[in-house]
Structure formats: C-alpha cells, structure tokens
Copies of this chain bind each other. A is one copy, B any other.
Amino acid sequence: MTGASGASIVLRAPAGIGEVRPAYDLVGLVIAAAAHDGWSWRNGDVVIVAQKIVSKAEGRFASLDTVEVTDQARELARRTGKDPRLVALILAESVEVLRVARDVLIVRNRHGVVLANAGIDRSNVPQDTSKERVLLLPADPDASARRLKAGIDARCGVAVAVIVNDSLGRAWRQGTVGIALGAAGLPALEDARGQRDREGRPLQITRVGLADEIAAAASMLMGQGAEGRPLVLMRGLEYARRDGAAAELVRPLAEDLFR
C-alpha cells in the first residue's frame, strides 16, 4: 500500500431554504440553513448556491408583458417556436446567437457563457396574477459569489469559497450538468502546467475546470423539481488558496473552434 493517501469529500444539502424573494439576505439564509443543519464552519469549506436563488434575491425578474419585440426576435421566434417576447429578452442578454433550430436557441451571453436561452428560466418562478414573469441570470455571477463569500467570511469568522451554479446542456452530450456561473475564494481553473507524471513526462491534461466539477457535484444533490435543494455545503476538497472567478472558465473567443 504505497502512493497517495486516502482522501474524502462530504457534500451536504441542508433543508430549510424556502422560496427566496427579492432583497432577501442571502448570506443570512445560507448561514441559518447551515446552522439548522448542524454545520459548523471551517476554513476551506465550499458553499454552492443555485443560480436561481441568487437571481431571485437580486430581484432579476423580468416581465414578458413589457418587452419590446424586435424584428430579429420575431424571426428567431418563428424559427424556434418560442415566445417572441422571451426571445427578445434572450437577445438582450446575449452578445451572439450561435445556433437556431426548432425549440433550440443557443447564445453567448454577455459574460461569454454559451448556453440555451441565455439561461432565462420560466420554471419555479412565482407568477404575478397580472404579468408573466421570467428569471434572468444574476447580472454579474462572479460578483454575486464574492459578496456571498465576503458575508459568510465576515459573519462566521472563516474563509470559505463560493460557487454559483446552474445546469447547462452540452454540445455533444445529452443531459444537463452543473457548471459554475460564478466563483470566489478558489481557483476556478486549476493549473497543473509544469507538473509531471510518475514517469517524469509533462502532464497532458494541464488545466482542470475545478469550479465546474464542484458545481456538477453539488448539482447531484440539488435536483431540479419541486424538491430542489438550492444550497450545498462541501468539505474536504483540497485546493490552492488562490482567489479566482468563473470568468477563467470561459474560453476566449479567439480559441473557440465551434462558433
């Protein structure tokens, strides 16, 4: 029995986060849910929150009834079969339309993330009786993660990392997986360049999307439906104490071979 020693990671999804409304204190909600679950904070803990509750706390609702529908939106709505008002909102959140097909509208959003419908969601959005509402992504998910980290660190006297995750589709693989829209307190992209394998060769895989792996792991516990658990706490992950941001995970346009 030689080589690396064993290692463990624990993921915990506390109960007790109900419907989140605009201007709710997300830091307080996370701390209360963790406390109710018996969690005592340690340095290096990772907090993963679903994009949806971050967006709700930040009041990122939009009403379909007040959207101005452009000609481009009308044309894309015809080709996709989607609501023209929704398409107009998607375009307003996007810098580039990558693919259009029946039921499919894949864009690059203003943060460079490639995703369907600019991440705009109609499910689990409480409806006003008079207006149809949708939920946009946080305006700046890395900033959301940083604020959440700063609040938890200050109130709990620790240094945690925070991931804001969402579930996205992939180009060649079926099913969504959790990815990091926002990150703070850890390297989102882990750089192993310069490391060597057991044979002394340089490693082929040199950069790991660590924050995306964390987001995917948390997504296993979060679920999607009515029983969704929008908060996951993680302990045991080894990571470099370098601060980072999910923006590191966005491939630069010049290196995009699949536009």
Distance to closest chain B CB from A55 (angstroms)? 14
Contact check, B209 vs A170: say whether CB atoms are below 8 A apart: yes
Copies in the complex: 2
Interchain residue pairs with CB less than 8 A apart (15):
A3-B15, A7-B13, A9-B217, A123-B199, A123-B201, A125-B199, A170-B171, A172-B256, A173-B212, A175-B212, A177-B209, A177-B212, A196-B226, A203-B225, A213-B219
A205 vs B4: C-alpha distance when bound (angstroms): 39
Give chain A interface residues in 128-162, CB to chain B under 8 Å. Answer: none
Cα-based distance from A223 to B104 in the complex (angstroms): 36
Residues of B close to A213: CB separation below 8 A: 177-178, 216-217, 219-220
- A14–B18 contact, CB under 8 A? no
Please classify the interface of chain A as helix (H, G, I), strand (E, B), loop, or mixed, using the class held by over half of its residues: loop
* A2, closest chain B residue (CB): B18
Chain A interface (Cβ within 8 Å of chain B)?
1-19, 36-37, 99, 101, 104, 106, 108, 113-114, 121-127, 167, 170-179, 188-190, 192, 195-199, 201-205, 207-210, 212-214, 216-217, 219-221, 223-229, 236-237, 248-251, 256-258
Chain B residues with CB under 8 Å of A5's CB are 15
Given that A224-B203, A257-B104 are contacting pairs, would A175 and B8 also be in contact in the complex, using a CB cutoff of 8 Å? no
CB atoms of A122 and B258 under 8 A apart: no
Q: How far is the CB of A111 from chain B (nearest CB, A)?
A: 12
Min Cβ gap A168→B in Å is 9
> In the docked arrangement, what's the CA distance between A113 and B108, Å?
24
* B residues in contact with A175, CB < 8 Å: 188-190, 207-210, 212, 249
Chain B residues near A101: list those with CB within 8 A.
257
With known contacts A124-B197, A175-B209, A221–B7 Cβ distance under 8 A: yes
In the complex, what distance in Å separates the CA atom of A4 from the CA atom of B4? 37
- Asked if A14 and B6 make an inter-chain contact with CB atoms under 8 angstroms apart, the answer reads yes
Given A207-B174, A216-B217, A217-B216, are A1 and B15 neighbors across the interface (CB < 8 Å)? yes
Complex Cα distance, B17 from A3, in Å, reads 8
Max count, chain B CB within 10 A of own CB: residue among A8, A14, A175, A189: A175
A198 to chain B, nearest CB (A): 5
Cross-chain contact A99 with B220 (CB below 8 angstroms): no
Nearest B residue to A237, CB-CB: B220
User: Measured between alpha carbons, how far is A101 from B254 in the docked complex, in Å?
Assistant: 12
Inter-chain pairs besides A6-B37, A104-B257, A176-B205, 6 sampled, C-beta below 8 Å: A6-B12, A7-B229, A9-B217, A170-B170, A172-B258, A217-B217
